[in-house]
Amino acid sequence: MSEIKWVKNSIPKTEDKYLKLMSKDNIEISYKFHKSFPEYNATPLIRLKKMAEYLGIGELLVKDESYRFGLNAFKVLGSSFAIGKYISKEIGKDILEVDYNFLTSQKLKDEFGQVTFFTATDGNHGRGVAWAANKLGQKSVVRMPKGTVKARLENIKKENAEVSIEDLNYDDCVRLVAKEAKMSKRGVVIQDTAWEGYEEIPGWIMQGYGTMAKEAYEQMKELEINRPSHIFIQAGVGSLAGAVVGYFANLFYDDPPIFIVMEAQAADCLYQSAIKADGEIHTVKGDLSTIMAGLACGEPNTISWDILRNHVDLFVSCPDWVAAKGMRMLGAPLKGDKQIISGESGAIGMGLISTIMSDEKYLSFRKEAKLNKDSKVLIFSTEGDTDPVNYRNVVWNGAYSYLSTK
């Protein structure tokens, strides 16, 4: 049976040059940009009081991204801001001058024309790129890895994107779109992973994700919670994790929360890199088969990796049953708590915190993470039911249960 694996971070530190990317001032800029969109509303921060009491912790707070821009996931925050930053740079304006009204104006269309934004995706990021490009009168091309469910492809197609499912894994789809963009007239890669020579746009995407982290912090203060003691954040390529960890590490530089990064066991490149602890990135190859499609990435974002290695406390590798358990618990909450519809990649935090706190097998993990009755835990449900068929299969039919893996 697949068990949860974890390792304490002992990776050699670097000069931490990318932390400033997620500074409070930089994230204020992305926040103002997003607020200019007519679809903008802060997504809710749900306080699960009964669940926290049941698990023996002080607070359990869930940022519910199923409400984001009507797209059922957080990813649009990164793609929209990166597209805005790219256009503002091309026309020589500050991003604060380039709001939604300007980006959709006839004046910009006449002066700037049209580009094609290329991206690879497991679903949510590509939908965000296609949605933003469509809103702003631009084009998009989206490539998806094998095994992608039709519902995710159809959602992207609705945004007037050219989209296809390739006989490739996610990382090879990234290489494909990089090649296609190079061969295209005015082709631009909008990818949420970085590699040598491609770092500016992924950095902008991470700053876009910072809007979600800022919202969560402001909402915590409204609840009179001044600082989370623990943040559980999931990682695929690591861009979201680097964004959230980077923002809160800047915010509480002298007394940071305990940061716990979670990956799908089939694509746990950060965990594998932390196990070896030699400072190098260790990739995961193959099909990367997991129900957590948004986390099925075997090659991490180099910018995020640098932030994570310097600030994360624990790296965790989670089997699929962890996410499935989280989906069921959020979908059928304790009486008095609010229901949260969370997809496979969104529910991993709920599945993990509940297992750590209730299963004595993971007592050493609990102690290492310093989780107790005073802990104020923040997790992020990064998507809703983006695959409705599989959501019902997990929540209604009990697929991928812990018991079925024994």
Q: Which residues pair with 8 in a beta bridge?
A: 314
Give the active site residue among 63, 75, 85, 325.
75
d(CA 246, CA 5): 24
CB 21 within 8 A of CB 312: no
d(CA 274, CA 262): 12
Amino acid at 17: K
Residue 273 token pair: 């890199």
Tell me how many degrees the CA angle 110-111-115 measures, rounded to the nearest 5.
85
Closest CA to 138 of 152, 157, 118: 118
Kindly report the backbone phi and psi dihedral angles of residue 160, in degrees, each rounded to the nearest multiple of 5, phi listed first.
60, 30
Does 64 participate in catalysis according to the annotation? no
CB 270 within 8 A of CB 300: yes
Does 374 participate in catalysis according to the annotation? no
Distances (CA, A) of 272 to 111, 167, 267, 319: 48, 26, 9, 14
CB 162 within 8 A of CB 142: yes
Residue 2 token pair: 């697949």
- The region, left, alpha or beta by phi > 0 then psi within -120 to 50, assigned to residue 16 is left
Residue 77 token pair: 């925050």
Residue 154 token pair: 């159809």
CB 237 within 8 A of CB 305: no
Residues with Cβ within 8 Å of 225's Cβ and at least 6 positions away in sequence, in order, are: 59, 61, 376
Closest CA to 375 of 221, 217, 229, 225: 229
Give the active site residue among 63, 64, 85, 122.
122
Closest CA to 63 of 207, 240, 186: 240
Active site members:
75, 122
